[in-house]
Structure 1
Amino acid sequence: MTEPGEPSDAVSASYVEDKFFRFVFSLPSSADVAPSPQEQQALQRLDDICGGDRYDVRTLPRMPTVLPQLLRALKNDDINGAKLAELIGRDPVLVGEVMRVIGSVAYRAVQPITSLQHAIVLLGQVGLRQVVSMHVMKPILLASAGMFGQVAGQRLWDHAERCAHAAAYLSKGLCDPFEAHLAGLVSNTGIGAVARALDKELSGSLNSYTPQFIASAARIASELTLQAARYWDLPPHVLEALAERGSATLPMSQVLHAANLSAMITLMGESHFIDPQIVIENEGAGRFTPPQLARCRQDLHRHFAPPEPIYI
């Protein structure tokens, strides 16, 4: 349920982000007071490990070596199935993921799938792009929660799926939908690195987390997300959008800003952790109107809402 005293008027993006951080890691609410000495020490230690360029990105999971080539190939509408099959065939895990998806009910064909190339043709460019990007990001996010457990990892992934979907939805006519989808998927990967650092350094020593502490941790997480995206050699437009996280002047940055907030509200609303109709200041980043954002949230709800139970 929505907590007592939750604002009824428009709230800031920072308010929503604070709620999201607490939702992901099951942290209690906190009064907006100055961080305690223990929190200040923890933040200093976190900054020493993760701030600036001090984090060792080599400790991050590596992307499959074939991924940069595959991403470039998938942007070419004229690429043929044989070439895609040759690239994907270099990664046995990716081959397995393609075949798993194509065997699902959504793609079940009348005739048996006879080859990887056949599966790729049936998936199509859009389906294959989503399989590739989700195959790469899902295990990274699910394994990223540290002391906060599997629930946190699943919530990070649930948000990534919704953010990617919303970014592709909002990108129409503004930027490349696949690059927007990819930016949405990776938008909060740095949170996992911060969670692991907190796990290692704090080991549950803090009983409460003030909004200032969470905002500082979220800032560091954004820096780490950008470092990770560079390490993974993601497309330049994705890097630009992640680098503009705070200002959002480029079209893809504005798409990512709005998609991120829409995904947070939708996911928390599904768990009754926040009012799903809440109004956020500058949610549209100067690009999207309230009706456009409302339609985006409605599309997220239609796409991700759990099915209604069937009673017999």
Structure 2
Amino acid sequence: MKNWINRLLSGTEDGASPSEAAASHEHVQGHGEPADEMSAGIDAAYYRWLTGARGYDAPPDIENLILEQVLTLSRNAADAAELVPRVPELIPQLLLSLRDDGVTTGALARQVAQDVVLMAEVIREANSAYYRPITPVKTIEAAIMMLGQNGLRMLLARLAFRPLIKMQSTGFARGAALNVWNQSEKCALAASLMAPGLTAGVFESYLAGLMQNVGLLVAFRLADRVCPTGSVPGSTEFGARLLACSRQLSATIATHWDFPQEVAQSIAHAGAPDGSNLARALAQGDRIAKLRMLIDASVLDEDDPLVAEGLDNFQRRCLGKLAS
């Protein structure tokens, strides 16, 4: 896992670099509240929707046991990382090729063509609303040209993380995994769109968005061990604490995988008043992505105060780009 991360980050970055990376990794207790009332409202609505009918009125000892298990795991990076699947072999090979400035589109196309699923993903991405081609892109060469090297790196990063949604075998975690992953993908894209205006790295913001929910997936697996079959504590107070604890767990795993320090720190400090520009980009992307999920699920309307008052004009345009 560490090798592919290093290859992923060694390519040329099209966006700006973070301007406020903290000097050392600080431990963050996972019991902190969101940075503001608007974020708290969005998190509460998101957690209620995510748990749905499977959320139950759990006794305090069950809630505290789950939170303590997540915090304990966040202090043991090796054990935490062992709960996460590894990436397909073809992706590190492609990332290595992307380090070569002299690699041709044809050479990349031949590598991508080795995997039919990957080839379909690249063409689908080139035809997405994000790139908006004038005419449909039909060949792998044209798709790679449309994405560019940075776009291809983002796609490969996203594909590398997708095995995470298959690691849930039973219980609530299995049902929640797809929604959590969809939010992660949207968060990654939104954070990368927020990054230039905050002088944060575009690709680093994207990677942080993909990574930040890894701990939540693990936390739901832990909850399955102590909760009634297919259920999870449903209180929004517990949800806020679980989201915060699991974010710290994600940061711990990111550190163990040798992510750049600023990426791990941005996950741990997203939404904090003293967070770096990268942390701010991640927090904004997370907010936009959660709102998009809630709107698409018909939980919120486009003109809900959480949208109208919680986002500025540029962020609302980003919300539109995330539409399913």
* Aligned with residue 139 of structure 1, among 163, 166, 182: 163
Structure 1 residues 199 and 255: CA distance shift in structure 2, 3 A: same
Structure 1 residues 213 and 204: CA distance shift in structure 2, 3 A: farther
Normalized against structure 1, the TM-score is what? Answer: 0.71
- 1:6 aligned residue: none
Q: Distance in 2 between matches of 1:223 and 1:81?
A: 38
- 1:165 aligned residue: 189
Cα deviation for residue 85 of structure 1 reads: 5.0
Verify the 8 A CA contact 1:18 1:215 in the aligned structure 2. yes
Verify the 8 A CA contact 2:44 2:240 in the aligned structure 1. yes
Structure 1 residues 213 and 137: CA distance shift in structure 2, 3 A: same
2:241 is the counterpart of 1:216: yes
* Aligned with residue 268 of structure 1, among 278, 290, 294: 294
Deviations 1:177-215 (A, max 9, x none): 122111112221111000111112324396753333223
* Aligned with residue 241 of structure 1, among 254, 261, 266: 266
* Aligned with residue 80 of structure 1, among 89, 92, 102: 102
Cα deviation for residue 16 of structure 1 reads: 1.8
Higher relative contact order (CA 8 A, sep 6+): 2
Q: Distance in 1 between matches of 2:271 and 2:177?
A: 24
Say which is worse superposed, 34-43 or 188-197, in terms of deviation: 34-43
Deviations 1:233-289 (A, max 9, x none): 333332231132352521111111111011111211221223543348x96xxxxxx
The amino acid that maps onto 2:323 is A
Verify the 8 A CA contact 1:39 1:206 in the aligned structure 2. no
2:269 is the counterpart of 1:251: no
Give the RMSD, CA atoms, in angstroms.
3.9
Structure 1 residues 141 and 207: CA distance shift in structure 2, 3 A: closer
- 2:229 aligned residue: 204
Verify the 8 A CA contact 1:159 1:267 in the aligned structure 2. yes
The amino acid that maps onto 2:205 is A
Unaligned segments of structure 2, at least 5 residues: 1-35, 128-132
SS for the counterpart of 1:59 is coil
2:316 is the counterpart of 1:297: yes
Structure 1 residues 51 and 180: CA distance shift in structure 2, 3 A: closer
Rg larger in 1 or in 2? Answer: 1
Q: Distance in 2 between matches of 1:207 and 1:130?
A: 33
Structure 1 residues 180 and 207: CA distance shift in structure 2, 3 A: closer
Verify the 8 A CA contact 1:102 1:119 in the aligned structure 2. yes
2:72 is the counterpart of 1:58: no
Deviations 1:22-68 (A, max 9, x none): 3223257889xx963443344445544x3432743222112457867
- 1:25 aligned residue: 51
Q: Distance in 2 between matches of 1:208 and 1:224?
A: 19
Cα deviation for residue 217 of structure 1 reads: 1.9
Verify the 8 A CA contact 1:35 1:210 in the aligned structure 2. no
Verify the 8 A CA contact 1:266 1:297 in the aligned structure 2. no
Q: Identity percentage over the alignment?
A: 22
SS for the counterpart of 1:265 is helix
Q: Distance in 1 between matches of 2:151 and 2:202?
A: 13
Cα deviation for residue 226 of structure 1 reads: 0.9
- 1:5 aligned residue: none
Verify the 8 A CA contact 1:168 1:178 in the aligned structure 2. yes
Q: Distance in 1 between matches of 2:40 and 2:260?
A: 28
SS for the counterpart of 2:86 is coil
Q: Distance in 1 between matches of 2:278 and 2:106?
A: 27
- 1:4 aligned residue: none
Q: Tell me how many residue pairs correspond in the alignment.
A: 276
